[in-house]
A = this chain, B = another copy of it.
Amino acid sequence: MILTLLTDYGHADEFVGVCHAVARGILPPDVPVVDISHGVPRHDVRHGALTLRNALAYAPVGVHVAVVDPQVGTERRAVAVRCGDGRVLVGPDNGLLSLAWDRLGGAAEAIDVSRSRHRLEPVSATFHGRDLFVPVAAHLAAGAEFRDAGEPLAIEELQVLSLPEPRLEDGAALAHALLVDGYGNVSLDLGHEQMMALGLTIGTRAEVTCGNCAAAATVVQTFADVPAGEMLVYEDAWGAVAVAVNRGDAAAALGVTRDAEVRLAPAG
């Protein structure tokens, strides 16, 4: 068993530390707590959802808290979702968890934990990580019964995120900047098959366009396959086609913002 945390709380303040402190007051000492990331851009539910989906595939089965929660303190539901593969996800019902359960065997069962017996009273209006999500998750990780932690909730009631859809047309891919990491590497909503369909095999040249910015890139396996400062197209560590600049910042070079349309085509 493991408890994992993903939030947009950052590391400047004590929010993450207090969540750990609360968890440790509930968990047996042999249940580890792992920070997946607290660097999700503030209030960016989609970024958090993609990060959670990507990361949990590499985590042991456990209870996984995610908090990116611009509607904290309002009537939005707080939920726990049991996935087909046995994991339990805990967080606000704003779509944040939905990409993860899609990837992890689907949502098998859900409960509304907004008034869970495991919450810390009084629940503040602004810090549900501390008062609601972490205590509920820690009790579940410590062995509490899933159905006992909240009220039954129909799976169909859960909020889900929708992602933009990439298109292939005229020999080019019209894709989107799904994620930009801290280095400025840009993950697109394209996979290996679409690259093959465009003829963008290792060693070929590609043209990358975003708004008024266009750049030439080489399709390679890894950063060091091009000189420093040059742009590359590669399959990133999560299996997505991505654009980067070796030792540089592709998002800045291309003026890419979140969900921006990025056109990718063979050069010439």
Contacts and interface: CB of A to CB of B under 8 A. Distances in A.
A72 B36 contact: no
A71 B126 contact: no
A29 interface: yes
A36 B36 CA distance: 17
A20 interface: yes
A196 interface: no
Nearest to A75: B224
A24 interface: yes
A268 interface: no
Interface stretch (A11-19, A106-114, A155-163, A208-216): A11-19
| Number of chain copies forming the complex | 3
A261 interface: no
A18 B130 contact: no
A70 B223 contact: yes
A176 interface: no
A223 B73 contact: yes
B17 A37 contact: yes
A127 B240 CA distance: 13
A204 interface: no
Nearest to A236: B126
Nearest to A40: B14
B34 A21 contact: yes
A30 interface: yes
A127 B18 contact: no
B125 A234 contact: yes
B222 A14 contact: no
Contacts of A152: none
B182 A235 contact: no
A37 B13 contact: yes
A154 interface: no
B74 A225 contact: yes
A59 B25 contact: yes
Interface in A28-47: 29-39, 42-43
